Copies of this chain bind each other. A is one copy, B any other.
Amino acid sequence: MPKIVQITRRERFSAAHKLARPEWSDQKNYETFGKCSNPNWHGHNYVLWVTVKGTPEPMTGFVVDLSALGEVIKEEVIQHVDHKNLNADVIFTKDIMTSTENLAIAIWEQLEKPVKKLGAELHCVKISETENNYVEYHG
């Protein structure tokens, strides 16, 4: 029986965002999203953990080459979001509410196919926004 192992790579990005619906008043946005609705933005050091799974390749012992996985995450996610404004600069997040939940789903969609090309399967995208909260999405 093949031995399934999960391997996780951690990456980080710093970005600005806000939680506010443009069709709502500042007042309604504040009532719904609190200080996260600040019109002039705020920001976070996001931490991203990408977990893939598969069977270690016999010659290398690798489920996936971690450097290659790191390159994929940088190319598909980090370079687009790091030191950017998630609502204004990023193609795959600028039309969504940038809640951590939605970020996790959007990043999953960026990564699912490229991870498959590496010969592994995407298992979990985990993001923390502050040290007191994080989100996990398993597809």
Residues of A within 8 A of B (CB): 3-12, 14-17, 19, 21, 32-36, 38, 40-45, 51, 56, 59-63, 66-67, 82-85, 88-89, 96-102, 104-105, 130-138
Interface pairs (7), CB distance under 8 Å: A5-B101, A6-B135, A7-B134, A10-B131, A11-B132, A12-B130, A45-B131
Bound-complex Cα distance A121 to B102 (A): 18
Residue of B15, B96, B97, B135 near A8 (CB, 8 A) is: B135
Question: Which residues of B are found within 8 Å of A14, using beta-carbon distances?
Answer: 42-44, 130
Which residue in B99, B130, B136 is a CB contact (below 8 Å) of A61?
B99
Of all chain B residues, the one with the shortest Cβ separation from A42 is B83
Quick one: given A40-B16, A101-B56, A130-B14, are A61 and B137 in contact (CB under 8 Å)?
A: no
B36, B41, B56, B136: the one contacting A102 at CB < 8 Å is: B56
Q: A129 to nearest B CB, angstroms?
A: 8
